[in-house]
Each structure stands twice: as structure tokens, then as C-alpha cells.
Amino acid sequence: MSGAPLVVVVGDSLLDRDVNGRVERLSPDAPVPVLDEADAAARPGGAALAATLAARDGHPVVLVTALARDSAGLELGALLAEQGVEVVDLGLDGATPEKIRFRSDGRPLMRLDRGGRRAESGAVTDSAREAIAAADAVLVADYGRGLAAAAGVRAALADRAANVPVVWDPHPRGAKPLPGMLIVTPNEAEARSLAPDTAAGARNGLARAADLATSLRAVWGALSVCVTRGADGALLVRGNGAPMAAPAPRAQGGDPCGAGDRFASKLALGLARGVPLEESVTAAVASASLFVSFGGAAAALRGERSEDATHVDGLDAVERVRAEGGTVVATGGCFDLLHAGHVRTLEAARRLGDCLVVCINSDDSVRRLKGADRPLVSQQDRASVLSALGCVDTVMVFGEDTPERVLRLVRPHVWAKGGDYDGQPLPEERVLREWGGRAVILPYVEGRSTTRLIEEAACRA
């Protein structure tokens, strides 16, 4: 994408395979389940996954990694090319690492690892140095196989860290992060294994994470350390002030595979765009939580769902209402500068059924519809404000001009629109007919509009 900041990912790449099927019997020669394979798919893993996720967000991405010339390595290289990731290959002396996950009806059954031994990559090349030197942000995705320990790579990273943000995602068997990194992002289990024993005596989860981050920041000489805590979000320690806690949006179920790479890649993208560190961490936590709830890496790379169609509180309430025979109501809009008219419309929509899903336009979608100076409030903040209303059960964000894709996901019984649509055909009606849903118009609240609020504010400025 022309003009977009360049993110360079440095680290060990893997090939992930998913084998899906169903277990309905045990083997006659041993009491073990027999998996009847339905389908299998390969996808980038390790640093290659982090690079792929960043590229799918629309940014130019260069991956500095080491690929073997075996069949798995060639397959991985082809997958990266399909995703638009430019690869600087240092060459791998050894087999391509593979992680093969077997699932029955979507549930993990076992994992088979291949090429697990540490393998040496080739010497750093001029192309690798040039890529790192050109980066607007660097993500080191260390998977413990030696690339982040290479002297030439570390020298190039140390030089670039003086000018651009470097995110270091460490590994218990990996290289020690270089001093002076902007942020190091271990998960809580990694932090416990990497921190000195003196950091292990904290009272509760949050205090323990703060002690671990503080201790590791001193050990590594990092400017900041962010300990990711799964469903509990993340905790950022920076300087001598109080740590920042970034809670995760409430979400149940899903697949955590790749969540760390989603967090780290989203964080690097935010920093590359100049977003402040605290805001970038908060956005990365929300993105990783949604990534997990939508099915993790396997679902993301199949394109089943994306973060342009995300929810704040999950779809659990919707499914419970549907299972109990209740009525699911949905409504939509930009909801930029939430005002009394919006609230009255949402309250009226909620009274039509047993739960309310609010579908809001993403920032890019609002810009296409309203102009380059909109929205005034980001999609993250608009979703957060809406989800805090008592009449709203779930918020979903869609990136298209119309909410057709998200409607097919929710399948509401009723689609409610504000009265300013009275007399006009609703574009959503065609989609609703697919499952027998109905569209209704709600009364218009006179004198309440975002445009009017913006105009009045401009006159008073």
C-alpha cells in the first residue's frame, strides 16, 4: 500500500497444518481414538504468521527469516507470497519446523511436531540489513530456533532501535532481548520462566504480572515490558510510574492459536503509524481477544471472519436468546457522536425483542460514506460507548458499506432502522429474506443528528 508505514518482521518461521475430522470409534488394536479426516490445510506459523497477519491488515511487510529448501519450506514460501509478504531468506540448514494439529469436531485432539531440533540459519545478508534499516517499525518474533541470536541480525536490530520502535516477542528458549528495545511482550507463562526467582512472590495475578514485568524490564534493559495475560488482557510497565492494565473485551470460547502473534503484529502496526504506546497496547489487546473469539489463526487465514466484523461482548447472548425461542433484534449505523436521538432509537429497538445487536460502520467505512473528516470518534471508542448502554447486548463492527456480511452472521429476526429511512427501500431487506427476517422503521427523533451537532460545534469554535 503506497504511503503506508513499512513493518519488518524478524524471526523463525514454521509451517502449521490443521487436520480436521471426526472421532466416532476407538482403534481395534489399541484404546486410542480414530480420526476420520475430513480436510487438511497448511498456513504460515511463527514469525511467518505474524508477518501474514500484518500484511492482511493492508500494510507492506517484509519478513526476514530462514527457510529450508525442503517441501515444507517451499510450501511455506508459496503461502507467504500468496499473502503479499516479501521474504528476505537467510537460508535454513535443517528441516522446516512443522506443527500439525489434529482436531475432532473443532476440538483439539493432539499435536505432532516435526523438525523440532534447533537449526542454524545462514549469515545475515545485505538485503536483510537494508530491510531492517528501512523499517518504520520492527517486530522480532523469536521462536527459539536461533535467528534472533545471530550476531549480524542483532547488530542490525540494535542500529535500527535507536530510530524506530522495536517490539520483541521473546521465547523461553530464545535469545535475550537486546537492551534499549521499546517494548518486550512475553506472555505470563513465559514471564514466569524468564524472570528471576525474586519476582515470583506477588500476592495476586495483577500484582504478580507487575512484579514480573518490572523485574524483566531491569534484566533486559528494555524501555517497557508488557505481560500478556490471555482473557485478563495485558499489563504494561514503563518507567517508574504505576503500571497500565489493559483489560480484554469479554469473549468466550474460540481458539487461542496465534493470539500472541496477533497481539504483537497489531502492536507493531500501531507503533509504525505513530500511535502512542499505551493506545497501541490497548488496541492490540482488543484485537487479540477478538481474534481468539473468532477462531484464531485457522479461521482468520481461511477468511471466515475478520476484524472488520468484530464484536465487543461476543455472540453468546444472541445464541442463548435464539435457543430459548426469543427474538433477536439488530440495528445499525455510524453512531459518530452518540446523542439522545441515538439512545432513544436503540431503546425502542431493544423493546422489539429479547436482545439487541448494534452493527456499526468501521472507520474506513464511515470515511467512504461521510467524507475524509469523519468519523470524529474511532470505531473502538464508538463500540465501547455503545456496549456500555443497558439496552445494547452486543456490538459488531463491519468494514463494508452495508452490513450484509455481519447480518448473515447474526441472522436477526428483526432489523430496525431509524425513522429517517421512512419511505425508502432498505438495502438490508434482500438479505433478511434469506432466513425470514423482517425490517421495521422506528419513529424519527426530531432535531437530533450528528451532522447538526458538528455544525453547531463548528459555529461556536
Residue from 12, 211, 261, 393 carrying the catalytic annotation: 261
Report the length, in residues, of the chain.
461
Q: Are 396 and 290 in contact (CB under 8 A)?
A: no
Q: Which CATH number is correct for 7-302, 3.40.1190.20, 3.40.50.1370, 3.40.50.2300, 3.50.50.60?
A: 3.40.1190.20
Stretch among 186-200, 253-267, 271-285, 357-371 having the lowest mean pLDDT: 186-200
Distances in Å between the Cα of 177 and the Cα atoms of 144, 172, 186, 295, 338 are: 12, 11, 11, 30, 44
Domain ranges of the chain: 7-302, 310-460
pLDDT score recorded for residue 70: 92
pLDDT score recorded for residue 10: 97
Stretch among 1-5, 277-281, 282-286, 301-305 having the lowest mean pLDDT: 301-305
pLDDT at 371 over 60: yes
Rounded to whole angstroms, the Cα distance separating 420 from 441 reads 9
Rounded to whole angstroms, the Cα distance separating 396 from 366 reads 14
- Average pLDDT of the residues of the chain: 86
> What are 141's strand-pairing partners?
11, 169
CA end-to-end span of the chain: 36
Rounded to whole angstroms, the Cα distance separating 213 from 403 reads 41
pLDDT above 70 covers what percent of the chain? 87
Largest Cα–Cα distance of the chain, in whole Å?
82
pLDDT at 310 over 70: no
pLDDT score recorded for residue 97: 92
Q: Are 267 and 234 in contact (CB under 8 A)?
A: no
pLDDT at 110 over 50: yes
Topology of domain 310-460, CATH = Rossmann fold (3.40.50)
Stretch among 40-49, 259-268, 307-316 having the lowest mean pLDDT: 307-316
For residue 316, with 0-12 CB atoms within 10 Å meaning exposed, 13-18 middle and 19 or more buried, which class applies? middle
Rounded to whole angstroms, the Cα distance separating 70 from 136 reads 32
Cβ contacts of residue 319 below 8 Å, gap of 6+? none
SS (H, E, C) the chain: CCCCCCEEEEECEEEEEEEEEEEEEECCCCCCEEEEEEEEEEEEEEHHHHHHHHHHCCCCEEEEECCCCCHHHHHHHHHHHHCCCEEEECCEECCCCEEEEEEECCEEEEEEEECCCCCEECCCCHHHHHHHHHCCEEEEECCCCCHHHCHHHHHHHHHHHCCCCEEEECCCCCCCCCCCCCEECCEHHHHHHHCCHHHCCCCCHHHHHHHHHHHHHHHHCCCEEEEECHHHCEEEEECCCCCEEECCCCCCCCCCCCHHHHHHHHHHHHHHCCCCHHHHHHHHHHHHHHHHHCCHHHHHHHCCCCCCCEECCCCHHHHHHHHCCCCEEEEEECCCCCCHHHHHHHHHHHCCCCEEEEEEECHHHHHHHHCCCCCCCCHHHHHHHHHCCCCCCEEEEECCCCCHHHHHHHCCCEEEECHHHCCCCCCCHHHHCCCCCEEEECCCCCCCCHHHHHHHHHHHC
pLDDT at 306 over 60: no
pLDDT at 157 over 70: yes
310-460 and 7-302 share a CATH fold: no
Q: What pLDDT digit, counting tens, does each position of 226-276 carry?
A: 999 998 899 999 988 889 998 887 665 678 889 999 999 999 999 999 999
Q: What pLDDT digit, counting tens, does each position of 391-443 carry?
A: 988 888 888 888 888 898 889 999 998 765 555 677 788 899 999 999 888 87
Which of 19-28, 131-140, 193-202, 282-291 has the highest mean predicted lDDT (pLDDT)? 131-140
For residues 240 and 389, the model is more confident at: 389
**Residue 261 known to be catalytic:** yes
Grid cell digits, residue 37: 479426516
If phi > 0 it is left, if psi is from -120 to 50 it is alpha, else beta; for residue 455 that is alpha
